[in-house]
Amino acid sequence: MKIFLDTAEVNVIAELAQTGLVDGVTTNPTLIAKSGRPMAEVIAEICRLVEGPISAEVAATDYESMLAEGRHLAGVAPNVVVKVPLTWDGLRATRALADLNIKTNVTLCFSVAQALMAAKAGATFVSPFMGRVDDHGGVGAELIQDIREVYDRYDFATEVLAASLRHGAHVREAALAGADAATLPPDVFRALVKHPLTDKGLDQFLADWAKTGQSIL
């Protein structure tokens, strides 16, 4: 499963990209607003930091303007993926962008039927929002599982990008459900490797090693 960062904080992306474990980045209008910087500048910087797909979301809601914005964003860098909301106009723009060989991430997906339509429109990625489904009394993990099953049954190439992940359990569930990728806020990414027994075990190993008086080099 590919791991993307869900943030527009360039400094954080630069720091976490050093792990060699960041396969891409997703942004949305809320994250761009939080950065307080011009969108094209932020996206261009992120695209230089991470080679993988970088999602940049259109702000228009009508087909013609979405297409124009999508073409403009795709021109910022070769690894830009145009993020489009899951609406009728958004799906029409997705089809048109796919016909222009521009990659898309169809976002705000909350049902299998919506995911099916995104795949039929030629989306490169679909983003089901696990956390927001859970917030509204649903089960985000089941949505990922069901989309996976439908895509496999009908051989759709669209990749399932689990989004709106809030904690490590969501990452586990997305991986078990067969998501192709998961996009994580930086704090969730950082927490993935932490385990108290790892820390405790390492402390013990280091204390015992110190007693030997040896050095490896």
The helix (H) or strand (E) run that includes residue 55 is: strand 54-57
Nearest distance, CB of residue 131 and ligand E4P, angstroms: 5
Angle between helices 140-153 and 168-176 (to 10 degrees): 20
Report the b/e string of 83-92 with b at 16+ CB within 10 A: bbbbbebbbb
* Of residues 25 and 91, the one with the C-beta less far from ligand E4P: 25
Q: Which of 90-98, 126-134, 140-148, 192-200 is the region at the interface with ligand E4P (rule: CB under 6 A)?
A: 126-134
For ligand E4P, the binding residue among 79, 124, 145, 183 (CB under 6 A) is: 183
CA count, 13 A, side-chain hemisphere, 44? 8
Report if residue 124 touches ligand E4P, rule: CB under 6 A.
Answer: no
Catalytic site residue 83?
A: yes
- Print the binding letters for residues 16-55 with ligand E4P: x by CB under 6 A, - otherwise: ----------x-x---------------------------
Q: Which of 8-16, 37-45, 85-93, 128-136 is the region at the interface with ligand E4P (rule: CB under 6 A)?
A: 128-136
CA distances 85 to 16, 183, 209, Å, are 28, 17, 55
